[in-house]
């Protein structure tokens, strides 16, 4: 068992409030990712759980045991640092056995545990090397190995892939996903990269300015963000946000007039909106089709077009200054400044009220995940 329960957790450094009251439940075997822009408090939250920072108020419980003020070593957690934080003067073997050594565990037992972990991570041939003789990916694996030997209740990862190059990052991401399935362990992972969050997590916790914005599965966040912040943070290229005004609200949905021209009727249900309210219409790049200018009421001039091979991104600056991105097929061709029409898939559109809160849209059964 390893259930972590956080209640009304707060952390301030002098007068600066970093964590402003967080409640969170992490269940056994979950892979939870904390994600958010830099300065949102995600790393501080992880360090509070690890015991590397003192809690200002609130509590942290691990399996009914209050660990709020317990020393880091006694919490039954292991952490993988962004810098790996390997001991440079020790071999890989010593790095991995250091904690067991300090705990006074039997030599033979230590050797067995280290070699088991080395087997899982394919570190066998590297055991007698020093960290500086290892590549970035190997160091990363040693840091993970150092955690595994301790058999902790929870693994903590602090942006573990941010020092690796793009290609290695993808490989280590897969390895981590595989490791989670093999160890069947509880993992908490901090990143600022929404792609890592989407691809690794069972449950994503989106943080912003010391508060939790949304907790949910990656696809839940992608398709049903609770507010404009989450909608804009998850997904690349970013969702386009177009300002508009509510024209009518009925049982059939909401009719909006966008500042850039077109009017749309959307299936969203709202009891709080009324005609004249400011509204933001959100649409992801892959949910827009580019057609000839006379085939849509949404007429635009295409700006720069980027050919990535598999896809083409069209960047558009609307007449009222708003920017948007459209994803077209790889063989799409267009000239700089060419006129075109846009056809958004309204069943995939999002609406946000003036405060940024989402107006819920009907869920097709298949997407309810």
Partner 1 sequence: MLTLKQGRQLQTVLLGTLAWLVALTIFFPIFWMILTSFKTEIDAFATPPQLFFTPTLENYLHIDARSDYFHFAWNSVVVSFGSTLLGMLLAVPAAYSMAFFETKRTKSTLLWMLSTKMLPPVGVLVPIYLIFKDFGLLDTKFGLVLIYTLINLPIMVWMVYTYFKEIPKDILEAARLDGATALQEIYRVLLPISKGGLASTVLLSLILSWNEAFWSLNLTASSAAPLTALVASYSSPEGLFWAKLSAVSTLACAPILIFGWLSQKQLVRGLSFGAVK
Assess 83 for contact with partner 1 (CB under 8 A): yes
- For a second copy, the binding residues in 323-342 under the rule CB under 8 A are 327, 330-331, 333, 336
Distance, in Å, from the CA atom of 152 to the CA atom of 186, rounded to the nearest integer, reads 9
How remote is the C-alpha of 109 from its chain's centroid?
38
Choose the contact partner of 77 out of a second copy, partner 1, none; CB within 5 to 8 A by kind: partner 1
CB of 249 to partner 1, least distance (A): 54
Q: Are 329 and 341 in contact (CB under 8 A)?
A: no
Assess 85 for contact with partner 1 (CB under 8 A): yes
Choose the contact partner of 169 out of a second copy, partner 1, none; CB within 5 to 8 A by kind: none
Q: Are 202 and 170 in contact (CB under 8 A)?
A: no
Choose the contact partner of 354 out of a second copy, partner 1, none; CB within 5 to 8 A by kind: none
Assess 248 for contact with partner 1 (CB under 8 A): no
Choose the contact partner of 8 out of a second copy, partner 1, none; CB within 5 to 8 A by kind: none
For the chain, what is the total number of helices (H) and then of strands (E)?
8, 21
How remote is the C-alpha of 343 from its chain's centroid?
29
Q: Are 204 and 215 in contact (CB under 8 A)?
A: yes
Choose the contact partner of 332 out of a second copy, partner 1, none; CB within 5 to 8 A by kind: none
CB of 73 to a second copy, least distance (A): 33
Specify the DSSP element, H or E, that contains 35.
Answer: strand 31-35
User: CA torsion sign, 227 to 229 to 235 to 239?
Assistant: positive
Using the rule CB under 8 A, which residue among 38, 64, 71, 276 binds partner 1? 71
Q: Report the candidate in 109, 169, 175 with the shortest Cα–Cα distance to residue 136.
A: 169
Distance, in Å, from the CA atom of 188 to the CA atom of 180, rounded to the nearest integer, reads 11
Assess 308 for contact with a second copy (CB under 8 A): yes
Task: Pick the closer one to a second copy by CB: 107 or 181.
Answer: 181
Binding site residues, a second copy, CB under 8 A: 167, 170, 173-174, 177-178, 181, 195, 198-199, 218-219, 222-223, 234-238, 284-286, 303-304, 306-310, 313, 315, 327, 330-331, 333, 336, 366-367, 369
């Amino acid at each position: 068992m390893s259930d972590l329960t956080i209640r009304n957790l707060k952390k301030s450094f002098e007068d600066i409030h970093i964590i402003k009251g967080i409640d969170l439940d992490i269940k056994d075997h979950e892979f939870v990712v904390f994600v958010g822009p830099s300065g949102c408090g995600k790393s501080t939250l992880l360090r509070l759980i690890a015991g590397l920072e003192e809690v200002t108020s609130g509590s942290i419980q691990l399996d009914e045991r209050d660990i709020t003020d317990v020393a880091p070593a006694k919490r039954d957690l292991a952490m993988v640092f962004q810098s790996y934080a390997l001991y440079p003067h020790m071999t890989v073997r010593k790095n991995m056995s250091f904690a067991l050594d300090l705990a006074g565990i039997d030599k033979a037992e230590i050797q067995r545990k280290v070699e088991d972990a080395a087997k899982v991570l394919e570190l066998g041939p590297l055991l007698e090397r020093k960290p500086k003789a290892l590549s970035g990916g190997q160091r990363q694996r040693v840091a993970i190995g150092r955690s595994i030997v301790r058999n902790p209740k929870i693994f903590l990862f602090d942006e573990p892939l941010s020092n690796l190059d793009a290609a290695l990052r993808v490989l280590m991401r897969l390895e981590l996903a595989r490791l989670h399935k093999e160890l069947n362990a509880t993992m908490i992972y901090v990143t600022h990269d929404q792609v890592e969050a989407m691809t690794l997590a069972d449950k994503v916790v989106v943080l912003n300015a010391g508060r939790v914005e949304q907790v949910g599965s990656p696809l839940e966040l992608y398709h049903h963000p609770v507010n404009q912040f989450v909608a804009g943070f998850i997904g690349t290229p970013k969702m386009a946000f177009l300002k508009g005004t509510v024209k009518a609200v009925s049982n059939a949905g909401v009719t909006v007039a966008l500042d850039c021209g077109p009017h749309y009727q959307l299936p969203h249900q709202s009891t709080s909106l009324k005609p004249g309210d400011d509204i933001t219409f959100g649409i992801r790049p892959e949910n827009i089709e580019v057609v000839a200018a006379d085939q849509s009421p949404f007429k635009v001039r295409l700006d720069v077009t980027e050919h990535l091979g598999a896809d083409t991104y069209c960047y558009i600056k609307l007449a009222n200054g708003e920017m948007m991105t459209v994803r077209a097929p790889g063989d799409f061709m267009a000239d700089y400044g060419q006129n075109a029409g846009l056809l958004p898939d309204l069943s995939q559109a999002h609406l946000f009220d003036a405060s940024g809160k989402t107006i819920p849209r009907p869920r097709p059964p298949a997407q309810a995940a």
